[in-house]
Amino acid sequence: MREVLQRAVTLREAGDLEGILALCSEHVDDPEVLYQCAWTHDKLGLESEAVQYYERAIEQGLEGEELRGAYVGLGSTYRCLGRYHDSLELLSRATEQFPDDRALKVFSALAYYNLGRSEQAMEILLTQLLETTGDERILAYAAALHYYADKLDKIW
């Protein structure tokens, strides 16, 4: 790991906002440092301030697992700030890029819920639950739950 990135991670883990801000001001074009700065702000409950760092990190070419994490962080932060459409739009694009990332899908479900689209939210959550659970009692009803996942309001 690059020295500057290691320093940023250490500052984030310590919750050292002053230190991470100083580092970010020295490395304004470094997407990995910007991501650590965003994460620090989120960790400290400073969601409004985190947005600019997430957005800049993504714009500066963040890649791989860090990009995936930034998408989750920014999508979640948008949602926390009441920016539900922005959240869903970002998370949908991110899910296209990382189709196997369940966290992106679950955070999308939260945004769907906030937009009053509870059917889509429940379908996503039920699908993720059924694809990941090892609980035998739930799995005993897997076929029925899969069937009902997109038919929640249907009356027979």
pLDDT tens digit at each of 156 positions of the chain: 578 878 888 887 888 878 878 888 888 899 999 999 898 888 888 899 999 999 999 999 999 999 999 999 999 999 999 999 999 999 999 999 999 999 999 999 999 999 999 999 999 999 999 999 999 999 999 999 999 999 988 898
Site of tokens 């991670």: 9
- Nearest alpha-carbon partner for 89 in 111, 110, 63: 111
Q: How many domains does the chain have?
A: 1
CATH of the domain at 68: 1.25.40.10
Contact present, 56 and 30 (Cβ < 8 Å): no
Query: Is 108:84 a contact under the CB 8 Å cutoff?
Result: no
Predicted TM-score of the model (pTM):
0.88
Q: Which domain holds residue 80?
A: 3-115
Q: Is residue 131 domain-resident?
A: no
128 is a domain residue: no
Q: Evaluate whether residue 66 is within a structural domain.
A: yes
